[in-house]
Amino acid sequence: MDEYKSAAYGVSRAVREAKRRYGRKLETQFQQSGSRSLWQGLRTITDYRSPPSGLMNADESLANELNTFFARFEATSSSANANGASANGTIGAANVACAGPTIEQRPLIITESDVRRVFKRVNTRKAVGPDGICGRVLKACADQLAPVFTDIFNRSLTLGIVPSSFKRSTIVPVPKKPRPYGLNDYRPVSLT
């Protein structure tokens, strides 16, 4: 029986010491100046666990929900502008006319050297846009592409019409949190 009592006393002493060490660890965590360590301490004390994410599965329904969620901004802006929707129902695909230059204004002219310089300064490490043309091609073929794009840009400025292909973008949902729970936990990043 003495052996049992000494073992029980040893266990209770070890538990007491472990609780003391744990309490000191929490105290030091609260005494640190960072708010991150404070919140970690509170989570540890309250044994808080974040709710499991219902949106972690990347299936077609999530993609459709995110598309509807992000498109609500485009739908409100296109309803204000009657020309914003095309005949097939895609938003932002039509050419939208803007006010052309008035008599007092000198029309803006873009030179071929300006376009060439911009193409040569394209960051080749950036992602491909919705047109599918990578930056490396624009940079390597700047001399050949500059005259064509100069004509397109100047015609657009003269007519006051922006081509629909210039207004397309790819929206990529980037999670704001490590485990997104709702549609608001995604940030729409536009690749143009």
User: Residue 25: its pLDDT value, please?
Assistant: 83
User: Residue 110: its pLDDT value, please?
Assistant: 94
Global pTM exceeds 0.95: no
Q: Check residues 52 and 155 and name the one with the higher pLDDT.
A: 155
Confidence category of residue 122, pLDDT binned at 50, 70, 90: very high
pLDDT digits (tens, 9 = 90+) for 53-110: 555 556 778 888 888 888 876 655 555 444 444 433 344 444 555 555 555 667 789 9
pLDDT digits (tens, 9 = 90+) for 14-35: 999 999 998 888 788 777 767 7
Distance in angstroms (rounded) separating the CA atoms of residues 162 and 142: 22
- Mean pLDDT, the chain, integer: 79
**Can you give the residue ranges of every domain in the chain?**
2-46, 60-191
